[in-house]
Amino acid sequence: MAAREADRSLSTLFLQHLANGLLDGVYYLLIALGLSMIFSLGGIVNLAHGAFYAIGAYLTVTLGPHIGFGGALLVSPVIVALLGVIFERVLFQRFYRADPILSLLLTFGLALVAEQTLRMIFGAPPLSYSIPPWLRGQIILGDFIYSRYRATLIVIAACCVAALWLLLNRTAFGRVVRAGVQNPDMVGALGISLSPYMMMVAGIGIGLAGLAGVLLAPIYSIHPAMGQEIITPAFVVVVIGGLGSFWGVVAAALLVGLVKGATIGLGYPQWSTAVIYLMMLLVLLFRPRGLFGERIQRFE
């Protein structure tokens, strides 16, 4: 009897780790999708992407007391997306055809400037922000107990992923973007200017990073360097999934979350962050294009 109960609780625990791992991957996903989109269309590796995530979180702390968490959830990503559009117009667009090292330097510099600016405005000590009362508490389904806030978070993230997929695959806008990824010269030859599309893609990608900042502000520490914490695992996700592949990034994000959760579940938490870099190493060794990476001629 006791043994059966222990068995059941172990399998529940395993299921919980499985579900939790998938959720953990969702945070990386919001960041990684934007990174992948901006890279595959513009050829820019946006090292400042984490900074926009941090700005999203700081906006939530600033706006939250006035318009509530719900308000900040709608307004902050839009402000961050607008910032993204401005940076794209003023800076990124000058580097689309340039040596990638230049845009790396540019976005690395931007990340540093953004972090110091946050430090100057808000101070170095972390700021506090809590889950709004209406999202606190647990969801209980039999033996399965999970945080209501995180469950909400995955629904929002899943909606974003679905909306993005529809936008890229079922609209005229998406067709041009996908064509631009494959062959920008041909798109140009057909008389379509990619410039406004690139602006939109940067806005959407950066807005998603801002959204991740809003969603994680209530459960992560809010400090000026928080962008650095998330950008590295997000890059790992992009590399594992394969640049330019929508489902590759989605699958890699979930896989990274799962493997991380399983490592902790099996009792080796000290390996939980090392293991995702190990995965990246294996992918780079045996399938450098990434799990689902498409062959993009101009990058080879």
Partner 1 sequence: MSDKTASSSSAVSRRTLLGGAAAAALIARPAMLTAQTADVIRFGHLTPRTGFLGPLGEFAVMAADLAVEEINAKGGVMGRKLEILKEDSVNPQTASTKAERMVERDKVSAIIGEISSAACLTIAQVAQRTKTLYINTGGNSDALRGPNCNKYMFHVESQNSMYVKSCGRSLMQQGLVRGKKWFSLTADYAFGHDLLKVAKRFMEGNGGQFVADKLVPTDLTDFSAMLLEIRNARPDLVVCNLAGNQITNFLKQYSEFGLQFQVAGFGFDTALAWAAGKDNFSGTWPVVWHHLIDTPNTKKFVQAFTAKYRKPPENQAWGDYLAVKIFADTMNELKTTDSAKMIEHWEKGAKFDVMKTREGYFRASDHQMMHEMYTVQGLGAASKNQWDIFSSSPAVPGPGESLEVIAATAEENECKFAA
Provide the binding-site residues for partner 1, judged by CB under 8 A: 9, 13, 16-17, 20-21, 23-24, 27, 123-131, 136-138, 145, 147, 149-150, 218-223, 225, 229-230, 260-261, 264-265, 269-274
Question: How far is the CA of 209 from the CAs of 7, 127, 269, in angstroms?
Answer: 41, 19, 27
Alpha-carbon span 30 to 25, nearest angstrom: 9
Residue with Cβ nearer partner 1 (22 or 167): 22
Residue with Cβ nearer partner 1 (158 or 166): 158
CA 187, chain centre distance (Å): 28
Question: Cβ neighbours of residue 197 under 8 Å, at least 6 residues apart?
Answer: 41, 173, 176, 177, 180
Least distance to partner 1 from the beta carbon of 120, Å?
11
CB 265 within 8 A of CB 12: no
Least distance to partner 1 from the beta carbon of 257, Å?
9
Residue with Cβ nearer partner 1 (5 or 99): 5
CB 204 within 8 A of CB 164: yes
Nearest Cα to Cα of residue 225 among 126, 138, 155, 296? 126
Least distance to partner 1 from the beta carbon of 18, Å?
10
Residue with Cβ nearer partner 1 (48 or 216): 216
Alpha-carbon span 217 to 82, nearest angstrom: 20
Least distance to partner 1 from the beta carbon of 50, Å?
12
CB 294 within 8 A of CB 245: yes
What tokens appear for 14 in the block? Answer: 């395993």
Least distance to partner 1 from the beta carbon of 251, Å?
19
Residue with Cβ nearer partner 1 (145 or 166): 145
Residue with Cβ nearer partner 1 (202 or 212): 212
Least distance to partner 1 from the beta carbon of 38, Å?
23
- Beta partners for 139? 146
